[in-house]
Amino acid sequence: MKQNSRTETHVYSVTEITRRIRGTLEREFPEVWVQGEISNFKQHTSGHIYFTVKDEGAQLSAVIWRSRTDALLFTPQNGMKIIAQGRITVYEVRGIYQLDVHELHPIGIGELQLAFEQLKEKLLKEGLFDPAHKKPLPEFPERIGIVTSPTGAAIRDIINIISRRFPAVELILTPVRVQGYGAAAEIVQAIGDLNAYAEVDVIIVGRGGGSLEDLWAFNEEVVARAIYESAIPIISAVGHEVDFSISDFVADLRAPTPSAAAELVVRNRLELLDIIRNFCYTMTQHLQNFIESGRQRIQHLVESYSFNQPRDLVRQYSQRVDEVHRRLGELLTHRFELLRRKVEGLQKRIESVNPDQVVRRGYVIVYRDGELISSVKRLRLNDVVKMKFRDGVAKSRVESG
């Protein structure tokens, strides 16, 4: 009997038994969902992620291969409660079984919410949200850095709105992924790059709306710190229905959506055109007042002297006054009239947009040495000037002036 049982006993090699175990496990657990807490989280330089899922009674080794890390919606952290979906495999070389993770989900929103609250509390205490640290935004930025996805709705919305409001700017798009594992690192890099480049006046960092998981990159500590350390003012523009993200608290300005950020970053050109139009009107009014009060002073002089002074003195004075009056009249009728027409022309151009409209309507523009001559006072006898007509340019010489 003893002999018998001995011959029937099969002796496995280690490889053989491991293969059998592997076969059994892989057949038995091709797809499982495992719930537990992350510990020993480690990302290898190869890009693969290793960690342990544990509960009170046991622990399970887990791996996320690099090819799958892109699909992660958040950065896993030690202590986080998660549900992992994957299959059980055996790593024969070390004789261990492990969970090959395909998807990782935080348990409910609660887990992310908790991480959010903890980080918010921590950064608040550190002073990252301090209003005194917030930088003022430039009133008229010329170059605007945009850190967002090149294919998302955010960049399209921003382009549309700025094109409408104030197109005389340059948008510098720094393309990044805005969700998934690795997005936070790309956002940090982009903010750093734009600071090193130093040629943008303000940066918009954001993306369109999504779930808390989708928006998670904007709740990561590294992103918050990059925003805090930026020397260039930053507008956080993460599309939420109701909530804030950490980046909103730390940014110099929070916009509820990318569209709103575009509205905040540039002024509306129609308003500005109105302001300039008003400036022109006010200037013209004041200049008229100047001339009018001059005229009244002369009038006053004429009247008072003619009553109180001997005749020849009166004549002398009135001759001088006439002279001044005549010169003022010239100013009024010629120079001022020219300027007034220019204002009118400008106002028409504000409406018509096209700068050549004036010439096309039959006005002539006079240049000397490439410089626009807007006043006869600036012309000398024999000056050669170019006159721009609607159908060409004529050279001419000034014969009087």
Cβ distance 298 to 321 under 8 Å? yes
Q: Is 376 in the site for another protein (CB under 8 A)?
A: no
d(CA 390, CA 19): 90
d(CA 391, CA 56): 89
Cβ distance 71 to 103 under 8 Å? yes
* CA-based nearest residue to 61, from 76, 40, 77: 40
Q: Which run of H or E residues covers position 173?
A: strand 170-175
Applying CB under 8 A, among 48, 175, 244, 379 the residue interacting with another protein is 175
Q: How far is the CB of 139 from another protein (least distance, A)?
A: 6
Quote the DSSP letter at residue 93. Answer: G
β-strand partners of 394: 387
Applying CB under 8 A, among 44, 94, 286, 300 the residue interacting with another protein is 286
Applying CB under 8 A, among 134, 342, 368, 388 the residue interacting with another protein is 342
d(CA 154, CA 80): 31
* The pair of three-digit structure tokens given for residue 315, joined into one six-digit string: 């004549």
Residue 211, SS3 per DSSP = coil
Quote the DSSP letter at residue 219. Answer: G
Q: Is 106 in the site for another protein (CB under 8 A)?
A: no
Q: Is 153 in the site for another protein (CB under 8 A)?
A: no
Q: How far is the CB of 388 from another protein (least distance, A)?
A: 15
Q: How far is the CB of 395 from another protein (least distance, A)?
A: 24
* CA-based nearest residue to 86, from 58, 70, 73, 105: 105
Q: Which stretch binds another protein (CB under 8 A): 26-34, 76-84, 124-132, 198-206?
A: 198-206
Q: Which stretch binds another protein (CB under 8 A): 13-21, 110-118, 137-145, 217-225?
A: 137-145
Applying CB under 8 A, among 25, 34, 298, 346 the residue interacting with another protein is 346
Q: How far is the CB of 342 from another protein (least distance, A)?
A: 5
Binding letters toward another protein, positions 212-251, x by CB under 8 A = --------------------x-------------------
Applying CB under 8 A, among 11, 132, 353, 381 the residue interacting with another protein is 353
d(CA 199, CA 339): 38
Give per-residue burial for 131-148: e unless 16+ CB within 10 Å, then b. eeeeeeebeebebbbbbb
Applying CB under 8 A, among 301, 350, 385, 387 the residue interacting with another protein is 350
Cβ distance 180 to 64 under 8 Å? no
Closest CB to another protein among 52 and 174?
174
Applying CB under 8 A, among 124, 185, 264, 291 the residue interacting with another protein is 291
- Summarize as ranges the residues that interact with another protein (CB under 8 A): 138-140, 142, 145, 150, 156, 159, 162-163, 166-175, 189-190, 193-194, 196-199, 201, 232, 269, 272-273, 276, 279-280, 282-284, 286-287, 289-291, 294, 328, 331, 335-336, 339, 342-343, 346, 349-350, 353, 355, 374-375
